[in-house]
Structure 1
């Protein structure tokens, strides 16, 4: 008998069925968020009862407005218009940001050339972009698209630039030694390595784009969620303002948990495979 035979045998944990693991994961992820939302609704209802003011409607009144907005189809129609504007503006900002961020990270002259524009873009408030685009482009589609792109591009450029600077030099040397083409380097090296930075920048850029699109629609458009918010404000309908705001927040949550996080997990699968 050897020392190896005397070692305690390792007990493997019992395999958990996939549906059970999935339910457990959803519970861990959803319960804290659900608890926060319930606590927030209870606090708002308490404040509404204590203040007893038409300016602070109760949860029931807000819920009634929310159901009415969804039932009559206005939310789906107006949301579609707003989402199209945000998608076009963000797509433009994303393409420009990837190109400029790569150039800044790889070339010192490009970094010094674009750096003032990035700093200026980060400094200018979204309200200014909204007002300027309304003045310049009026009610044309280019107005919201340009406003979203101008507000989203600077943080995207900055995150891409920082991601480029953090890429392992050994990978770059390997690509040079094996003489990868530019397309291969972009597809096999840069995009996988920059995935965390791209998703972080996408979250920040989308959040800024959503805020700016509402301002643009409030000031210079005749459709969209921002336009509906402005109408509710003009009618002094606080419950409708809050209902539209909540629906807007739900859309952002769906984009984050249903789209961005799923794409991020898919893009980072190779990291988990390497670490195994």
Structure 2
């Protein structure tokens, strides 16, 4: 009898092969059941939120400090941040697109973006909250929408800046290719602009959500004059615990928040980062790619493939077919139009444009008159105090930016260049960025008081904790966007570390770095409202600064001081942007544009 070698015993038998085939067939079914379960859970969540939002507003909400209330509070906060992020994403794409392609309104829109991102969340508070409550006076949704819009104002600006700068830095050859193939505006947006901006937009989305967690405490629980607004959520839970000095509740709240952030990182951001990596602009395929097991499983789900085949694909085909038909019909109609019809349409459009301008001018003049009436109530001593606070906050912001840039630039480049390091460092950075520094502020303040420090140093530390992530995540995105062929050329020519930083790394990350510094600067000014004015154990701790002036004016209902302090802050930030950041943006577009 023939004797086989021992190695043949390692060949799987029929039973093993059959078991493997059963697992291969059953695993997609299990995955589809999991996806269906997630869908049902989301549907149930929508029902719960709708029942709560459309109920009658509760006159006074008591925030429980029991750990048993945390699951419900966490659910409410996640929904608010998620809806605010979706609103921010739509606004950022629309705003950045119009600003990048409309030469007439581009300077005005970018100036407006500079002003809006420099306005603290609390400065939006009176108008937003009173307007939403007036729109829905008998429903809880009014207060909820107000909180969502406030979170939106803390998330959206860096995303809009990112999308705008990405469109402005699209390589010329890609734009020319889109023109040669006669892409419509929608086709160019979907097939060129969104993919090219994807990496920067994803990383800025991560830091925006982190910013939403940072300002969550201010958006879920605040005082406006004599009215006390409270919403059940993680932010109000942590603020109540910090105000009463309940460190056990702070610990439970932070652990819950960290668990949510870790789950979000693994279930949302990790798959999205792996998906967006395919949009990297390079001529040589990178040897190392970002991986996500969850994305791999979702891509092999039969249920999702079937759903996409019967919904998304027909919609895409129908949309492109309709666009093509409209282009043909539009071209035929354009040649058939008479000169009189063209002139008539021109007159109508001019009249409509003039009407819109007149209405906008009247609204602006009315708002300006009301603002002047309010500003007349400001006393001379109050104005001097605002100017002193502005200079103090200006110095703190610059110190925080220098300290942040000193470590985030090398760390961000290292993470962006090494996918293995990114798999470890990115979740840690995401957790650290998302944990509200305001929740750690009580412990930090107590430690500083014991060693002889105080709110002056503590405010700089809080600004640093809240804004350094804007620079870090933008630098990571810039390092990941550097084409692999440039890295290989640097290796081939045996560049030294200094040469590599000077010729490859710094030019490659420069547009992203400027975006990060601009948004970090605005974020530091925004963070001053919390860093310079804080309640601890029923005491109010504050230092000299513009943020402290704004927070105190909001608490006391002195809207004239709130308005003047906000105007001063906006003017300072816009002046810095015009003298410093705008020339650097122009340099990034001209000298450091990839493929320029």
Deviates more, 1:81-90 or 1:124-133: 124-133
1:96-175 alignment runs, 5 A limit: 96-125=407-436, 127-128=438-439, 130-131=441-442, 133-138=444-449, 139-175=454-490
Give 1:29's aligned residue: 107
What are the Cα deviations for residues 204-229 of structure 1, in whole angstroms up to 9, with x where unaligned? 22222222122111113320112222
Q: Does 1:63 align with 2:345?
A: no
Q: Does 1:259 align with 2:583?
A: no
Indicate if the aligned counterparts of 1:127 and 1:212 stay in contact, CA closer than 8 A.
no
TM (normalized to structure 1)?
A: 0.72
> Mind listing any 5+ residue stretches in structure 1 that lack a counterpart?
1-24, 47-57
Question: Cα offset for 1:114?
Answer: 1.7
Indicate if the aligned counterparts of 1:160 and 1:198 stay in contact, CA closer than 8 A.
yes
Indicate if the aligned counterparts of 2:408 and 2:471 stay in contact, CA closer than 8 A.
yes
Change (3 A) 1:140 1:236: closer
Indicate if the aligned counterparts of 2:456 and 2:543 stay in contact, CA closer than 8 A.
no
Q: Does 1:182 align with 2:497?
A: yes
Change (3 A) 1:212 1:100: same
Q: Does 1:216 align with 2:563?
A: no
Question: Cα offset for 1:150?
Answer: 1.2
TM (normalized to structure 2)?
A: 0.36
Q: Distance in 2 between matches of 1:32 and 1:157?
A: 23
Give 1:77's aligned residue: 388
Question: Cα offset for 1:79?
Answer: 1.2
Indicate if the aligned counterparts of 1:78 and 1:224 stay in contact, CA closer than 8 A.
yes
> Mind listing any 5+ residue stretches in structure 2 that lack a counterpart?
1-102, 113-356, 535-540
> Which structure has the bigger radius of gyration?
2
Q: Distance in 1 between matches of 2:562 and 2:391?
A: 18
Indicate if the aligned counterparts of 1:97 and 1:157 stay in contact, CA closer than 8 A.
yes
Change (3 A) 1:257 1:45: closer
Deviates more, 1:228-237 or 1:249-258: 228-237
Give 2:571's aligned residue: 250
Q: Does 1:270 align with 2:581?
A: no
- SS for the counterpart of 2:527 is helix
Q: CA RMSD in A?
A: 3.4
Q: Distance in 1 between matches of 2:379 and 2:406?
A: 38
- 1:88 pairs, out of 399, 406, 421, with 399
1:36-55 alignment runs, 5 A limit: 41-42=364-365, 44=367
What are the Cα deviations for residues 40-66 of structure 1, in whole angstroms up to 9, with x where unaligned? 6446469xxxxxxxxxxx322333357
Indicate if the aligned counterparts of 2:510 and 2:588 stay in contact, CA closer than 8 A.
yes
Indicate if the aligned counterparts of 1:62 and 1:243 stay in contact, CA closer than 8 A.
no
Q: Distance in 2 between matches of 1:92 and 1:132?
A: 21
Question: Cα offset for 1:164?
Answer: 0.8
Q: Does 1:225 align with 2:555?
A: no
Length, aligned pairs only: 239
Indicate if the aligned counterparts of 1:122 and 1:155 stay in contact, CA closer than 8 A.
no
What are the Cα deviations for residues 162-192 of structure 1, in whole angstroms up to 9, with x where unaligned? 1111102221122112211111211221111
